[in-house]
Chain A
Amino acid sequence: MSKVLSVTQLCKTYGEMVAVDGISFEVGCNEIVGLLGPNGAGKTTTINMILGVLAPASGRICIEGVDIATHRSRVLQRTNFAAVYAPLPGNLTVQQNLRVFGLLYGVKNLAERIEALLQQFDLEKFRDVKCGVLSSGEQTRVSLAKAMLNSPQLLLLDEPTASLDPAIARDIRSKIRDFAAQGTGGVLWTSHNMYEVEDVCGRVLFLSRGRLLLEGDPKTLPREHGKATLEELFISVAREPLTLKVE
């Protein structure tokens, strides 16, 4: 499996506080990798560094083998993201937002691409509605449509289904699974919903206090560490990371 994302010995410190402490991992083509951990574990910090909006203290991030530190624009052309804390400007309509970001990502045949995404994410009726008046679930769908605009090689999703009802969340999961399976890209996904992670991710990475604690298949990892479910394993990582049987 070819590598879409390669993170090597990534560190971020804020003064004395170590937010990310020398983590290394990869995301392969057609792979959905879950980045898990309790609040403050360093997930969003890691995603921000991969997006180029936060400079690492040390370490290397390569997307399709290209270093973001030296080829920022080229790398970000092939990357995109959706995060619950980064809604699109509420004073532009859905279509206007997609057009502006489509130009920023250099999307070819933009009008057709926007139409396809409006249809795919069931946003046609909101085309001329300002994003600020949409429900949180609808805004999430717009953010996901934006994230798919440039058919990214690397898709970063920070709790993408946090504000969606179960039916829409399942639909979104299915779309992202299709994206990973059909295209040539990979997905890095953070979520606190362990059912979702088990359902979607082929591999998970557990972060705690900025360190990568565990890595493996979400279906077998809990048993390997003496836990019945992924949720139990998550709680152990959050509460007592040092007591885990790390192999």
Chain B
Amino acid sequence: MYLTHIAAVVLRQFYLIRGSLSRVLPLFVWAGIDIVLWGFITKYLNTVTSAGFNFVPSLLGAVLLWDFLIRVMQGVTMAFFEDVWSRNFLNIFATPLSISEYLSGLVLSSIATSSVGLVVMVVLATTVFGLSFFVYGLMLVPFFLVLFMCGIALGIFGSGVVLRLGPPAEWFVWPIPAIISPFVGVFYPLSTLPRWMRYISRVLPPSYVFEGMRAIVSGGSTSPHGLLWGACLAVLYILLACWFFTRVYRYAVHTGLIARYSAETLS
């Protein structure tokens, strides 16, 4: 793996973002709006529910963590979509760039772009709505790590879907977090869900993060085994997503889809 190849993918993304307000704003505007919206909702809930329970760390904290996962996923897919939109596959895949280098470049781009959103969310949540991360303690690190890995896996998987099905398949990618969110219990305990949904929750890494977060907020402690299992699942999903993307790429090279990507399908 050559670092210069990975740097090229990141540099391309940097050039694009630097020169475009319409690429800069989405890095933090929607995340910021989410925090403001949910910040006021939690403040309101604090005034109408029984005294003593603070919704800020459980609800606003959950929104922040969930938005972080979405930003990470979109960081990968947006960097990939730049090649889709500029019809750049023939140029880029005819270079010595390997798939692992390409995916590494997308992940590094995502780290940079999602960090911007995270910083804005943290500043807003702490300064305007009084969210304190000390509540979560050191468990915040594995929480972010698991969600980061899950976002990467979803981003690579989504990119593979678009590579296989063509540009209109972007439609399939954007709603992925919304489809997952009911199963992972972002806003409610998993015990709220019917049994069949809880079975699905068990194989989704963010479930362990949000359950752990709620356990800490309510004065208990999070299960390290559960979180470790969530982390293992997230690593597995990254590997599966990379395998999926590589398979799709090989299919595209075999069928000629890479060279004729604008046609969307070969039929």
Given known A54-B253, A92-B12, A104-B8, contact A77–B96 (CB-CB < 8 A): yes
Inter-chain CB contacts under 8 Å: number: 90
Which residues of chain A from 139 to 169 have a CB within 8 Å of any chain B CB? 146
A81 vs B2: C-alpha distance in the bound complex, in angstroms? 21
What is the bound-complex CA distance between A157 and B62, given in angstroms?
54
Contact stretch, chosen from B26-34, B86-94, B135-143, B224-232: B86-94
Q: How far is the CA of A90 from the CA of B20 in the complex (A)?
A: 13
How large, as a class, is the contact surface on chain B? Answer: 20 to 34
Contact of A14 among B86, B88, B266 (CB under 8 A): B266
- Which residues of A sit under 8 angstroms from B87, Cβ to Cβ? 87
Does A103 lie within 8 Å of B93, measured CB to CB? no
Among B90, B93, B250, max chain A CB count under 10 A is at B90
Assembled-state Cα–Cα distance A146/B94 (Å): 12
Q: Which of chain B's residues has its CB closest to A50's CB?
A: B94
Tell which of A83, A104, A105 has the most Cβ of chain B within 10 Å.
A104
Which A residues, 74 to 92, have Cβ-Cβ distances below 8 Å to chain B? 74, 76-77, 79, 81, 83, 85-92
What is the chain B residue whose CB lies nearest that of A86? Answer: B90
The interface residues of chain B lying within 8 Å CB-to-CB of A87 are: 87
Q: Which residue numbers of B lie inside 8 Å of A, CB to CB?
A: 2, 4-5, 7-8, 11-12, 15-16, 19-20, 82, 86-98, 250, 253-256, 258-259, 266
Give 20 A-B pairs besides A73-B96, A76-B95 with Cβ atoms closer than 8 angstroms: A51-B94, A52-B93, A52-B253, A53-B259, A54-B258, A55-B254, A72-B98, A87-B87, A92-B16, A96-B12, A96-B15, A100-B12, A101-B8, A101-B95, A103-B4, A104-B5, A104-B8, A104-B95, A104-B97, A106-B96
- Given A48-B256, A54-B258, A55-B253: A89 and B96 within 8 A (CB)? no
How far apart sit A74 and B92, CA to CA, in the bound complex (Å)? Answer: 15
Inter-subunit contact A14/B256 (CB<8 Å): yes
4 closest Cβ pairs, A-B complex: A103-B8, A89-B86, A104-B95, A73-B96
Q: Report Cα–Cα, A158/B254, bound state, in Å.
A: 21
For the complex, give the distance between the alpha carbons of A45 and B19 in Å: 36
Which B-chain residue is minimally distant from A102 (CB atoms)? B8
With A and B bound together, what is the CA distance between A101 and B93 in angstroms?
11
Can you offer 13 A-B residue contacts whose CB atoms are under 8 A? A14-B266, A48-B90, A52-B93, A73-B98, A89-B88, A91-B16, A91-B19, A92-B12, A96-B15, A99-B11, A101-B91, A104-B4, A105-B96
